[in-house]
Amino acid sequence: MEFHDNQRPDPDDVLVQIADYVTGSPSFSSEACETARLCLMDSLGCAMAALAFPACTRLLGPIVSGTIVPNGARVPGTPYQLDPVTAAFNLGSMIRWLDYNDTWLAAEWGHPSDNLGGILAAADWLSRTAAAGGRKPFLVSDVFAAMIQAYEIQGILALENSFNRVGLDHVVLVKVATAAVTARMLGCSHDEIINAVSNAWIDGQALRTYRHAPNTGSRKSWAAGDATSRGLHLALMAAKGEMGYPSALTAKTWGFYDVLFRGQPFQIPRPFGSYVMENILFKVAFPAEFHAQTAVEAAFALHPQVRNRLEEIDRVIITTQESGKRIIDKTGPLHNPADRDHCIQYMTAVGLIFGELTAAHYEDSFAADPRIDTLREKMICVEDPQYSRDYLDPDKRSIANAVQVFFKDGTQTEKVEMHYPLGHRRRRAEALPLLEQKFARNLSVRFAGKQAKQIQALFRDSQRLANTPVHEMVDLFV
């Protein structure tokens, strides 16, 4: 007869490291704090732009129609005031909907601003509740600190641990990071944070089915809202005293490693600090899956040479990294906007034909232009091993692509090669004015000039924004 040792172990080291980090005394670089401001600005702008799309707005609002929660979290850009978990789903889905928010690329990729759904919903609810009770509300600076920590947890766990290779979606890391930082915001103890994070790892995890052919679909736009809201839900449960599971990762047979990660432990190659926020990637000029950003930039550069010679094109060679080839190299019919913004050939074709790429270019009405699929059929996507090595090099973190067009008469364009996209840290100064323009453009989707200018003025003043109560900042978006 087999017996099982029922001695409760000490918590897994990864759980302890995360809890130590979020309960420590943070000392973040000025670059990290300033970048957090930009990320908050950009994320809220992306959320406002998403409100122009009925496929997004139909998912928003309370679970039961008409529900209003006193001192609940407001959903920016909408009339909704909800419980924080539902508000987190709303905002998280809005931020992610257009594939236009910031990005992190490593062995695992993802979008750390996905955590803002849970962070801002919790902060807004806590701030309103505190203000109603005559207590000190949360400030936007508290949101910055939570963002830096959530970005770091998600990003460091992504550096050398590939969840996509075992079929899991990267939003598992959103759930874990949101659970950790919102538990701290709720006043949870070190042990309670471990409880919340352990439950996040034990939770059922999303498969990547909805991100890949032939099943690519709109769930990829609300999966982040689902994950960040679930992370906040687990944090709220931990705050009420719900137990955790100390060997959630390492338990033989039943733990995360054995069940979902091929028995391999996580690698954490550097301590938690503010590295991820400092190196985050912004999508500045157009919404596109980030592995294709430099391909689209190259296509824009070639647009003047090919726009009047489309019928003369024999083939187009796209050179990319291993990750790009594995994720977004796609042939055959594309069934919806989510399918198209995860196809490097589609995005490159639009860039070559039109010299621009917007969210509207993924809609069915635009995709019906026969020139796009005709050009896609002439595209060949190949991997450059050096691009793949530079992609994973911690000193480079490049996302290289190259595009070259060959014509039927034997001539060809130059091979336009781009190693670092506009939103990369190495091109941050170049991107800043365009990021401000993107914010203004996105705000205009929802707000008239006076209100939009009031919001922009606050976000330009770093110190005033940091010292603003969270609920007062959110009220500007109502």
DSSP string, 299-325: HHHHHHHHTT-GGGEEEEEEEE-HHHH
Asked whether 470 and 140 are in contact (CB, 8 A), the reply is: yes
Q: Does the pLDDT at position 395 exceed 90?
A: no
- Residue 222: Cβ within 10 Å count: 21
Asked whether 353 and 372 are in contact (CB, 8 A), the reply is: yes
Distance of alpha carbon 276 from alpha carbon 149, whole angstroms = 9
Q: Does the pLDDT at position 298 exceed 60?
A: yes
- Give residue 38's pLDDT: 97
Q: How confident is the model at residue 290 (pLDDT cuts 50, 70, 90)?
A: confident
Q: Which helix (H) or strand (E) holds 296?
A: helix 293-306
Say which amino acid occupies 144: F
Cis omega (within 30 of 0) for bond into 385: no
Q: Does the pLDDT at position 285 exceed 90?
A: no
pLDDT, greater one: 320 or 448: 320
Asked whether 471 and 127 are in contact (CB, 8 A), the reply is: yes
* Axis crossing angle, helix 293-306 with helix 344-354, rounded to the nearest 10: 30
| Cα–chain center distance at 140 | 20
Which residues make Cβ contacts (< 8 Å) with residue 376, sequence separation at least 6?
331, 343, 345, 346, 349
Q: Does the pLDDT at position 11 exceed 80?
A: yes
- Give residue 29's pLDDT: 93
Q: What is the mean pLDDT of the chain?
A: 95
**pLDDT tens readout for residues 180-233:** 999 999 999 999 999 999 999 999 999 999 998 899 999 999 999 999 999 999
**pLDDT tens readout for residues 244-261:** 999 999 999 999 999 999
Q: Does the pLDDT at position 26 exceed 90?
A: no
Average of pLDDT values for 418-443? Answer: 93
**pLDDT tens readout for residues 60-115:** 999 999 998 999 999 999 999 999 999 999 999 999 999 899 999 889 999 999 99
Residue 207 bridge partners (DSSP): 168
Average of pLDDT values for 290-303? Answer: 96
pLDDT, greater one: 300 or 6: 300
- Give residue 8's pLDDT: 87
Q: Does the pLDDT at position 271 exceed 80?
A: yes
**pLDDT tens readout for residues 363-394:** 999 999 999 999 999 999 999 999 999 998 88
Lowest mean pLDDT among 236-250, 304-318, 423-437, 459-473: 423-437
